Chain A
Amino acid sequence: MEWLISEDPIIACSSGNNENTAISLLRISGLKNFKLLNSLFNKDLNNLVPRKASFIKIVDKSHVIDEVVLTFFKGPHSYNGENILELAVHGNPINVRRIIELFKKHGVREANPGEITYRALRNNKMTLTQVEGLDTLLNAGSIDLFDNGMSHLSGELQKEYLNLRDSYLNLRGAIEILIDFSEDVGEEQSSKLFKDHFENFKSLIHILKRRTRSPRSHLLKPKVVLLGVTNAGKSTLFNKLLEEKRSIVSEIKGTTRDYISEYFSHEGAEFQVVDTAGLRESEDEIEVEGIKLSKELYSDAFYKILVINPFLSDELGVDSLEADAVVFTHSDLKGFDDKVRDFDNLSGNSKRFSLGPIGPLLELGPIGPESKTGPIGPESKLGPIGPESEIGPIGPQEGGPIEPLGLLKNHIYRKYSDLMAEKPILPDRQRNIINSLATMVDGISQLIDGVNDPAILSNEINMLDAEVNGLLGITTSDDVLNNIFSNFCIGK
């Protein structure tokens, strides 16, 4: 963790350097002056006007290495408070490498991941919450997640933490008044003051806690998992979601024996969809293992889809499992509607969204004029919408009727964007602190109802101090810092 204290000038390519691009952006941070590098340019760097781009040549012993655009940001008015040189160089990785090596020979060190940003933290340009927001933003797999990171980066979350700290300080004040000044303030009044402040603090904590309730994995890499008995049509649906034939489809039961996963995008969010081994009694060790895995994947899934072929009898009780959506397959077969009606009262989670049927293959086209849920436009290729669809009304919207697959994807996305609308707090560090604060506060609640010794209460309340300050980044150890910054890409 030497780098936490290092003041070396550092260099990194901030625009990613894996492919040939037109331009790569190099940043050099922490130069105290230009003595080290002045000989490497064809103009005197001391004449640079801060924040003004100049066209300049990089030279090595009068040999021109590259022609670049250079901008100087003078500390403390820079991204991280240090002097920063930004070089827009020609983007060939070979060229980028050569330039970095050249600067390294002249006393500039290659930066560690996140080191340039770490210096922003060190120089009070950013709070830890902001840094963590930046991390979220840079690694976001969806626009919503990006926005989430952005709002934390802009300091919104920090404001709420400051708010929490104020409430905490008030609470501490109140308990001290209860102990030290109740003769002056009055016994009743000081107890009430304490109760009010405690309730206020507690509710703030629980509001924050609600924002940590969705598992991180759901937010970062939402998994859509298909589950059903063998031959239900999971792989068929999987391929449709991906719009490509990725998983083997066959009438042989137990075709899929290990799970397969792929990504699809919808509304700017990326989802991982997982096709699993169909459920059935089996002797085959590998298949048994696969089935076990299916169930695990399903139970951890962000979005659970139960795939049911209504013509198959369900001996395993699969159709009573909890699900976000139930998809009925084989709608093209005769008697489908009657069969599906048997499922009207699915005993599992009552709030499931049931959708389908979805025809066997995209090409196989429209079916079911007997559809219950109203008119499907003539152009619809994919036929009727299932009996319990919660997404109504289905009908022509802009661009015509929505086919069930689109509905399903919308529903998946809706669940995701609803979670994101709760403004979830993602960084593990903050989640852990918030959850431990909530546990501690609930413990204090119990003490208030039980022992009610103000000296003990205040002792316990004082112990929250470290956590509250931790949220604000006041009490962070080197390990924590190291952990956070090692997540960053080089050049940030």
Chain B
Amino acid sequence: MNKNFYDILIIGGGHAGAEAAWAASEFNLRVGLVTMPSIPIASAPCNPAVGGVGKGQVVRELDALGGLMPILADYAGIQFRILNESKGAAVRSTRVQIDKELYAEKAEELLSERKNLSVIRESIVDISLNENYLVTAKSGELFSATKIIITTGTFLNGKLHTGEVQNAGGRFDCGPSVSLQTLVKETGNIKRFKTGTPARLLRDSINFEVMDPQPSDPLAFNFHFKNRDNKRAQRQLDCYLTRTQPATLELIRENKEKSPIFNGQIEGVGPRYCPSIEDKAFRYPDKDGHHVFVEPEGLNLDTFYPNGISTSLPVEIQEEFIRTIPGLEKAVIAVPGYAVEYDVVDTTELNIALEHKKLPGLYFAGQLNGTSGYEEAAGQGFIAGINAGLAVLDKERFILNREESYIGVMVEDLVSNERDEPYRLFTARSESRLFTREDNSYFRIGPYRKKLGLDKEIDAFIDGYFLEREILIKLVKKTGFRATKKWSKHFEEQKYGKIQENITLEELVKRSHLDPEVTLAYELKRMGVNFLPQVVCDIANSLKYEGYLERSINQQKKLSKLKEKKVSWTVLSENVNISFECRQRIKKIQPETFQQLSMINGIRPATLAYVASNRV
């Protein structure tokens, strides 16, 4: 056999590629990861952080799936935070500031340890399909593979913008990967998106005294199950909070015509949910200030990332407006901010395993699918990697349900709808977010991992988790308090409210004015029983949300008859009673159920009403 033959070849070693390689190499298959020589594996071109609202959930799902990202994030984490802390457990998310050097080093190390995985430093210039896929590198080296996973991020036809200066490239310090386009073009409609990053600032030039420090939160759980002692691998650093000033925004508004976003130089569509400072200045003219989080890029790096002021204005103006921000009056730019425009593939051409419908064996994951963010990339990488492996082995596809996971939500959204702006996960994308929480991710996702039957260590952990969970459920239902003087006093002291008749621990935890996690943890401690803190949180919040969840599930059930109603897109797309626009979209997406139809962007109520009252 050819030494350059692989079962699965992954092209691109970003967050998607690394995760795909990690997952695919769990099978006993020959896996290769080809990536540009100049860029570290799993490098962070933008914000050096993992997690965030909706994204922390993905990282925890990846941990239950045996993923790479949670291990790396724990290892490189230098500041941990819980976002949305006051908003209820269902939408609470962990965010970890990472040392980007350590992160990439660890990725490289862990991937190289996999015996059946080769990391290949080459730039790929061509992919073609014969019997197998044939892959050509710039150096002339040839590879072949039965399955290919493309994860080239922002490199397809990438173009960088800083003011009027334009360069071809996928990132600040490297060229684009142009030639892949020919292949990708064949896969369908190509769209152009843009994203941007702020200038990096030198540590010594920043006055931290006038900013609010944000220390690492020792209570935030680590991501990886083996780190459940909650010890941090690295020394923890503070991040800092400051604000843009009216003068900052004024300056930006004055220089509108110099911004590639607004003067027509950039055609790509940027993420509405992670806007550049120019976007903010023009889109919200009434606001006179925005948060800026000033974040270290690493323990040994002397650069800071000013989160919230991503820009593609000319360097002089970047410097000028940055210096209007308290604490940054003397800031020195180490690397200027820039925007990058790149091609994205049409994900409606992919199936739910992220495999191309017309080019079987070809998978796509990460930013070139039109998503934005490391976690989104990693989540897709896992799905593509696992499914490529299962496909080689002729096994059934691995699909995560949208009701049970954010990864499932994302993949379904991607393949069932065309993007017209970069896709980012947030909690609102999940219909069942009272269930898809961080705290119960092992409960939600563990069984899926077990079914793969790959790694005994995770399986053992998940079995243990389920056992503890079961015991704790029994305990909260069976233990309780009698309506006696003694417990009355206890209730009073703990501000639990009145105790009129005997009450179980379960009922107590459900009392709406109490924090369920705190209450349950306290009572267990008082009883002197020990449970994994994750299990305690899982059960506490499950109890709290149980009633609401049930109601919404019942309602879903009522609606599901309609949702599952089969629709014939061919009939619909020819029906003159439906507006032309809607018919175009229907033809494109080819919905098979009422649910899918109703999820198409821009479908009018009239069309839905029409379909609801019809058997088409």
Contacts and interface: CB of A to CB of B under 8 A. Distances in A.
Interface of A: 4-5, 76, 81, 121-125, 127-128, 162, 165, 176, 178-184, 186, 450-451, 453-456, 458-460, 462-463, 466, 469, 472-477, 481
B227 interface: no
A183 B291 contact: yes
Contacts of A81: 577
Given A124-B610, A179-B428, A460-B548, 20 more contacts: A4-B615, A5-B615, A76-B577, A124-B577, A180-B91, A180-B426, A180-B427, A184-B291, A450-B513, A455-B89, A455-B433, A455-B434, A456-B545, A459-B548, A463-B552, A466-B558, A469-B608, A472-B609, A475-B562, A477-B562
B522 interface: no
A456 B561 contact: no
B605 A454 contact: no
Contact of B91 (A121, A125, A455, A472): A455
Nearest to B614: A122
B508 to A, nearest CB: 16
Contact of B605 (A182, A472, A477): A472
A237 B615 CA distance: 57
A491 to B, nearest CB: 21
Contacts of B577: 76, 81, 123-125
B90 interface: yes
A424 to B, nearest CB: 23
6 contacts: A122-B613, A458-B433, A460-B548, A463-B552, A472-B605, A474-B609
Contacts of A165: 605
Interface stretch (B80-88, B496-504, B523-531): B80-88
Closest 3 CB pairs of A and B: A455-B90, A453-B88, A176-B428
A475 B290 contact: no
Interface in B63-116: 83-84, 87-91
B247 interface: no
Nearest to B555: A463
A179 B92 CA distance: 9
A462 B88 contact: no
**Secondary structure class of chain A's binding surface, majority of residues:** helix
A474 B608 contact: yes
A182 B135 CA distance: 46
B265 to A, nearest CB: 25
Nearest to B615: A5
Contacts of B54: 180
B512 interface: yes
B600 interface: no
Contacts of B613: 121-122, 128, 473, 476, 481
A176 B512 CA distance: 22
B612 A476 contact: yes
Contact of B548 (A5, A128, A184, A456): A456
B555 A466 contact: yes
B609 A453 contact: no
A184 B290 contact: yes
Nearest to A162: B605
A462 B431 contact: yes
Nearest to B93: A180
B548 A474 contact: no
Given A183-B83, A453-B88, A128 B609 contact: yes
A475 B595 CA distance: 11
A462 B91 contact: no
Contacts of B290: 184
Interface of B: 53-54, 83-84, 87-91, 273, 290-291, 426-428, 431, 433-434, 512-513, 545, 548-549, 551-552, 555, 558-559, 561-562, 576-578, 605-610, 612-615
A180 B91 CA distance: 8
Given A76-B576, A454-B87, A127 B609 contact: yes
Nearest to B579: A124
Interface-central residue, B88, B290, B608, by most chain A CB under 10 Å:
B88
A179 B427 contact: yes
Given A124-B606, A180-B53, A475 B612 contact: yes
Nearest to A125: B577
Given A122-B614, A179-B84, A453-B88, A459 B608 contact: no
B135 to A, nearest CB: 39
A477 B576 CA distance: 24
A459 B554 CA distance: 13
Contacts of B89: 455
Nearest to A177: B428
A469 B605 contact: yes
A475 B561 CA distance: 10
Nearest to B54: A180
A231 to B, nearest CB: 57
A128 B612 CA distance: 11
Contacts of A121: 613
A180 B429 CA distance: 10
Nearest to A453: B88
A178 B561 CA distance: 32
A472 B577 CA distance: 17
Contacts of A178: 87
Contact of B53 (A122, A179, A456, A477): A179
Contact of A450 (B512, B558, B612): B512
Interface-central residue, B87, B89, B549, B576, by most chain A CB under 10 Å:
B87
B519 to A, nearest CB: 14
A474 to B, nearest CB: 5
A456 B512 CA distance: 12
Given A125-B577, A453-B87, A459-B548, A181 B273 contact: yes
Contacts of B273: 180-181, 184
A81 B576 CA distance: 10
A122 B577 CA distance: 10
Interface-central residue, A121, A472, A474, by most chain B CB under 10 Å:
A474
A4 B615 CA distance: 8
A460 B551 CA distance: 9
Contacts of B513: 450
A350 B555 CA distance: 46
B610 to A, nearest CB: 4
A181 B607 CA distance: 31
Contacts of A472: 605, 609
Contacts of B512: 450-451
Contacts of B434: 455-456, 459
B592 to A, nearest CB: 18
A454 B609 contact: no
Nearest to A6: B615
Contacts of B562: 475, 477
Given A450-B512, A455-B87, A466-B559, A473 B609 contact: yes
Contacts of A453: 87-88, 90
Contacts of A176: 426-428
Nearest to A481: B613
A186 B288 CA distance: 12
Contacts of A181: 273, 426
Nearest to B428: A176
Contacts of A459: 433-434, 548-549, 552
B511 to A, nearest CB: 10
A186 B559 CA distance: 35
A140 B500 CA distance: 57
A455 B609 CA distance: 29
Interface-central residue, A5, A183, A454, A466, by most chain B CB under 10 Å:
A183
Contacts of B549: 459
A445 to B, nearest CB: 15
Contacts of A456: 88, 90, 434, 545, 548
A179 B612 contact: no
B9 to A, nearest CB: 37
A322 B114 CA distance: 88
Contacts of B609: 124, 127-128, 472-474, 476
A459 B280 CA distance: 29
Nearest to A447: B512
Contacts of B576: 76
B552 A475 contact: no
